[in-house]
């Protein structure tokens, strides 16, 4: 490539601007939703522009009304996961409710799947196994979730080390639960919630 051609290409990249799309073009949220569904069902290798455009019923051009590249879509997808599967958890754990109420609220997120998707978490962790940058993001998010759990156990009365250990037991148990594909009904899981709480809180809270 000549120097002039390279400069022209660089200028074109810098001058890329989104223009108002046709009314029938899927929204940004629609593209992220489709990418999320394909990620969960088939993995990150299947999240391709052609595939998503076909599912959306538009041409590749419809994709480029919303995103400059596949990488930009993937950035939006990992941000979507971080928000959907972490924000509700933090809202519960950082609320003004009692520790037992917060633990029960966390159990509800996990068991009922409202505010947390085990399938989405598993799919992103599988993606992380193929991508060091995504793995770094997942580690950071795990750290944020663990810190919120540690704060819960400190509120119960445990010291820093005990809170950290109990937070890890709680969190690693949940990740392991769906990682190994445990098959239990919501009713079966709810029966154990109070017992789990008593064990993890060492009956310090009655």
pLDDT in tens, 10-50: 444 445 455 555 557 899 999 999 999 999 999 999 999 99
- pLDDT at res. 21: 57
User: Residue 201: is its pLDDT beyond 80?
Assistant: yes
**Angle of helix 160-179 versus helix 118-128 axis, rounded to 10:** 90
Confidence bin at 56 (pLDDT 50/70/90) = very high
Helix, strand, or coil (residue 116):
coil
Confidence bin at 127 (pLDDT 50/70/90) = very high
Helix, strand, or coil (residue 157):
coil
* 145 and 89 Cβ atoms separated by less than 8 Å: yes
What is the rounded average pLDDT of the residues 167-188?
Answer: 83
Helix, strand, or coil (residue 128):
helix
Single pTM value for the model: 0.82
Other Cβ atoms within 10 Å of 76 Cβ, number? 17
Other Cβ atoms within 10 Å of 24 Cβ, number? 8
Other Cβ atoms within 10 Å of 167 Cβ, number? 23
Average pLDDT, the chain: 87
Burial class (CB in 10 A: 0-12, 13-18, 19+), 193: middle
Tell me: the pLDDT tens digits for 62-115? 899 899 999 999 999 999 999 999 999 999 999 999 999 999 999 899 888 888
């Amino acid at each position: 490539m000549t120097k002039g051609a390279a400069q022209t290409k660089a200028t074109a990249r810098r001058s890329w601007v989104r223009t108002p799309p046709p009314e029938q073009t899927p929204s940004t949220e629609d593209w992220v939703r489709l990418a999320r569904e394909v990620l969960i069902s088939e993995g990150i290798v299947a999240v391709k522009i052609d595939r998503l455009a076909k599912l959306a019923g538009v041409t590749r051009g419809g994709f480029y009304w919303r995103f400059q590249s596949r990488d930009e879509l993937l950035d939006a997808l990992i941000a979507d996961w971080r928000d959907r599967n972490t924000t509700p958890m933090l809202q519960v754990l950082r609320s003004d409710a009692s520790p037992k109420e917060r633990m029960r609220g966390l159990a509800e997120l996990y068991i009922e799947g409202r505010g947390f998707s085990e399938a989405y978490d598993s799919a992103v962790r599988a993606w992380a196994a193929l991508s060091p940058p995504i793995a770094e993001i997942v580690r950071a998010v795990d750290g944020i979730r663990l810190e919120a759990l540690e704060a819960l156990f400190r509120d119960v009365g445990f010291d820093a080390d005990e809170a950290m250990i109990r937070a890890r037991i709680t969190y690693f148990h949940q990740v392991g639960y769906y990682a190994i594909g445990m098959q239990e009904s919501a009713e079966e899981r709810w029966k154990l919630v109070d017992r789990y709480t008593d064990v993890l809180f060492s009956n310090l809270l009655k």
